[in-house]
């Protein structure tokens, strides 16, 4: 893996982390297109550069993050089930799921279809929850459980939380904001744990590549987050669902050929 690869993957991560299209799935597919072998370091790289995108959220949401204790407590309540499930399944996910193109393609297709169905189902539904403060602790925990589905490559952490929130009656802007905030402890824990487990296998040159991926991810994620905030005020997520299905079909075609 070289610097060009790090730049490309960092940009892909920054664009896709908060869109409901699976950043991990796109990183795996792009790595395949660039002929980057799915080594332990590459898997760690794909997890770690998500911190760059998360830093963009900290920058844009610092008021909610540091000035509203009630929202912080609800975000932490949502993180607890995700953290427990992630810790329990870490080895299985790292060894058997990350890097598996069949799992990614299948997840992209299925969740894309589900996203379209959910949007059609709720299109005339009235959203009762329109502020972060109105999300209950029970709903926060349920969102955290749903978020754990995003550990499967191709599902999308943000996609899972957004769909779950919409079905709970939380409006698009509010559940997107909550998903952004929930990403902070989730990805900090995931990256920290992975680095702790694998730091001994990362060389000095690998740290340079990792740093470049992190910086590019951060810079690209800022406009991506701003775009999604503006997008959800006017549009639904059907377009993202269709995009997922098309991408899944393209890569299924590649795999079968």
- Which tens digit of pLDDT belongs to each residue from 224-257? 999 998 998 888 999 999 999 999 999 888 888 7
Contact 135, 178 (CB under 8 A): yes
Q: How far apart (Å, rounded) are the C-alpha atoms in residues 62 and 64?
A: 6
Q: How far apart (Å, rounded) are the C-alpha atoms in residues 65 and 59?
A: 10
- Give the dihedral sign, CA 7/232/75/160: negative
**Reported confidence tier of residue 65, pLDDT bands at 50, 70, 90:** low
Provide CB contacts within 8 A for 78, sequence distance 6+: 140, 141, 143, 144, 147, 178, 182
Q: What are phi and psi of 156, to 5 degrees?
A: 90, 115
Q: Which of 14, 78, 19, 21 lies closest to 46 in space, CA to CA?
A: 14
**Reported confidence tier of residue 6, pLDDT bands at 50, 70, 90:** very high
The domain ranges of the chain are: 3-256
pLDDT tens-digit map of 98-133? 767 888 899 999 999 999 999 999 987 888 999 999
Provide CB contacts within 8 A for 6, sequence distance 6+: 45, 209, 210, 212, 213, 216
pTM of model > 0.75? yes
pLDDT at 192 over 90: no
Contact 73, 238 (CB under 8 A): no
pLDDT tens-digit map of 199-224? 776 777 788 899 999 999 999 999 99
3-state secondary structure 105-135: HHHHHHHHHHHHHHHHHHCCCCCCECCHHHC
**Reported confidence tier of residue 92, pLDDT bands at 50, 70, 90:** confident
Provide CB contacts within 8 A for 119, sequence distance 6+: 166, 236, 237, 238, 241
């Amino acid at each position: 893996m070289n610097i060009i690869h790090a730049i490309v993957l960092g940009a892909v991560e920054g664009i896709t982390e908060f869109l409901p299209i699976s950043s991990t799935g796109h990183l795996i597919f792009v790595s395949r297109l660039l002929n980057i072998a799915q080594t332990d370091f590459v898997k760690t790289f794909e997890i770690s550069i998500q911190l760059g995108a998360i830093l963009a959220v900290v920058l844009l949401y610092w008021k909610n993050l540091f000035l509203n204790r009630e929202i912080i407590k609800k975000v932490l309540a949502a993180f607890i089930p995700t953290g427990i499930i992630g810790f329990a399944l870490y080895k299985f996910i790292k060894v058997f799921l990350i890097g598996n193109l069949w799992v990614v393609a299948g997840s992209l297709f299925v969740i894309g279809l589900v996203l379209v169905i959910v949007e059609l189902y709720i299109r005339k539904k009235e959203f009762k929850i329109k502020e972060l403060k109105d999300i209950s602790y029970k709903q926060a925990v349920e969102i955290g459980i749903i978020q754990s589905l995003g550990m499967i490559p191709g599902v999308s952490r943000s996609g899972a939380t957004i769909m779950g929130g919409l079905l709970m009656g939380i409006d698009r802007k509010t559940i997107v904001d909550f998903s952004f905030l929930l990403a902070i402890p989730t990805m900090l824990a995931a990256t920290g744990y992975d680095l702790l487990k694998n730091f001994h296998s990362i060389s000095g040159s690998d740290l340079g590549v990792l740093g470049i991926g992190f910086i590019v991810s951060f810079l690209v994620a800022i406009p991506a987050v701003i775009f999604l905030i503006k997008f959800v005020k006017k549009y639904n997520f059907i377009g993202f669902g269709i995009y997922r299905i098309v991408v899944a079909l393209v890569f299924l075609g590649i795999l079968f050929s």
